[in-house]
Amino acid sequence: MAPQTLKFAVVSIVILSSLGYLAYTGVQESKSYYVTIAELHKLGDTAYTRRLRVGGNVEPGSIHQAGTHADFVIVEEDPQTKERQELRVSYKGNEPPPDTFKDNAQALVMGGFGKDGVFHATEIQAKCASKYAAKPGTAAASAPAGSTPAAAKGY
């Protein structure tokens, strides 16, 4: 093998290895796990090291907002046991929470769980459940069984 070909092969391997490493670490850093509030409390110490997504309903009267920051509580209730779980959330993002973020809204928060017992969110997605539900007596409310109108799906 010629010395020039060997140098080219070595440089190519180094470049491809570097690109592979950067792709792998990028995927690992952007990965987030969706958990319920109950599952979050059961994670133990691994909850502090993962990027997480947690969903729940915004507790009425718990929102304290100042500019782009908001502190609030999300709750979920197990439909079978009726057990209620709460999670305090502190959102510090670059943008204010969305307009649909209000009492009783469904919220999905992304960020990390702190050892202080507070979920530190960097992103919030929220939707008001009543906004997407069909009004009683409308065509969407009386759609045939088995069909789901787009408005009820939230599209």
Domains in the chain: boundaries: 31-132
Summarised one tens digit per residue, pLDDT across range 98-121 is 888 889 899 999 999 999 999 999
Q: What is the pTM of this model?
A: 0.62
Q: What's the CATH class of domain 31-132?
A: mainly beta
pLDDT: which is higher, 120 or 139: 120
DSSP 98-148: PTT-STT-EEEEEEEE-TTSEEEEEEEEEE-HHHHSPPTTSTTTTPPTT--
> Can you list the pairs that 36-39 forms with residues at least 24 positions away whose Cβ atoms lie under 8 Å?
36/76, 36/85, 37/74, 37/75, 37/76, 37/85, 37/86, 37/87, 38/76, 38/78, 38/83, 38/85
